[in-house]
Amino acid sequence: MSKPIFPAHPGDPSNADEVARALAEALAPIAPDEARIGALRARLIQRARASRAADERVINVRREDGQWRALAKGVRVKMLCKGSRSVLVELAAGAALPTHRHHEHEECVVLRGEAQLGDLHVRRGDYHLAPAGSRHGRVSSSGGALLYLRGTSIGSRVEVARDLVTAWLPGAGASPITVRADEGEWRDFAPGVQAKSLWCDADARSMLLRLQPGACADAHAHSIDDECLMLEGEAFFGDTLLRAGDYRLAPAGTRHCDVVSDVGAVLFVRGATHEAARASV
């Protein structure tokens, strides 16, 4: 014979709230003594100081921070931080940028909409690398787009003018690299964390990191500048919470705190190769 379930039985899902409330009301609060209060306060202050010290040289740019300025008709740009050569570029529907040549590796992640890069059509989530020396055809968007660019000359009038003038020199330069949102292989990086490699050279690489809810990417030192753009979700970098659209620059010589996500996240990261990061710890 099965055991009857009474109205307030904790095994009855319909009574869960009532049982939890009754248990909470029956618990008498316990006031900690002065010594414990002092120890808790000291640990909190110590943690706050350590967190502040760890982030002292790190630059965090919130999605709503910074100023947009006009770059061309229907095109506006926001510099993410001084010296990083990373920007957001927003193209209104029908807007375009002229043909230009790249004098350094320029990386692009499509954050919203679609764009035409010369003969190449890219969509949200696609990654594109224009190598140094390559020439880009006209950049346009029929419906509007938001792009993240890293390694761009935007911000320097002299360099932008150079890029426009040298675009008409003969030679297309090295072939670009494009990784579509549904291309590439996700590999295990840490428990609950996967990485998709996008491009790398001798010292650095660009990749996507995907954190499952509750996952943690361990702390490590930065042998070179480490840039991160939050694409989806949110994550704690130590005690600092970053959400989709936020940008973070950790200069060389700083140390990354654990990166933890309660709800899951996808990040674009440009930094030292995994081997170089290990060697600098």
pLDDT tens-digit readout, 90-148: 999 999 999 999 999 999 999 999 999 988 999 999 999 999 999 988 999 999 999 99
**Rounded to the nearest 10 degrees, how much is the dihedral formed by the CA atoms of 254, 243, 269, 83?**
-60
The pLDDT of residue 8 is above 60 = no
Confidence of residue 7 (pLDDT cuts 50, 70, 90): low
Q: State the Cα–Cα distance between residues 266 and 198, nearest whole angstrom.
A: 14
What mean pLDDT value characterizes the chain? Answer: 86
State the average pLDDT over residues 63-87.
92
C-alpha distances out from residue 214 to 37, 58, 195, 255, Å: 30, 24, 16, 22
The pLDDT of residue 3 is above 60 = no
The pLDDT of residue 281 is above 60 = no
Lowest-pLDDT range of 29-33, 90-94, 238-242: 29-33
User: Tell me, what's the pLDDT at 47?
Assistant: 66
Phi, psi of 225 (to 5 degrees): -55, 135
Q: State the Cα–Cα distance between residues 129 and 255, nearest whole angstrom.
A: 27
Q: State the Cα–Cα distance between residues 95 and 26, nearest whole angstrom.
A: 66
The reported pTM is: 0.79
Find out whether 138 and 78 touch, Cβ atoms under 8 Å: no
pLDDT tens-digit readout, 141-177: 999 999 999 999 998 889 999 999 998 888 878 899 9
Phi, psi of 122 (to 5 degrees): -120, 150
User: Tell me, what's the pLDDT at 50?
Assistant: 62
pLDDT tens-digit readout, 178-229: 999 999 999 999 999 999 999 998 778 999 999 999 999 887 777 888 999 9
Find out whether 207 and 197 touch, Cβ atoms under 8 Å: yes
- Domains delineated in the chain: 69-179 (2.60.120.10), 184-279 (2.60.120.10)
User: Tell me, what's the pLDDT at 188?
Assistant: 94
Three-state SS at 159 = helix
User: Tell me, what's the pLDDT at 95?
Assistant: 96
| Helix spans in the chain (H) | 16-26, 34-54, 157-166, 274-279
User: Tell me, what's the pLDDT at 275?
Assistant: 42
Q: State the Cα–Cα distance between residues 278 and 269, nearest whole angstrom.
A: 16
User: Which tokens in the block code for residue 139?
Assistant: 């950049």
Q: State the Cα–Cα distance between residues 259 and 56, nearest whole angstrom.
A: 17
Residue that is written with structure tokens 């969509």 in the block: 123
User: Which tokens in the block code for residue 76?
Assistant: 């506006």
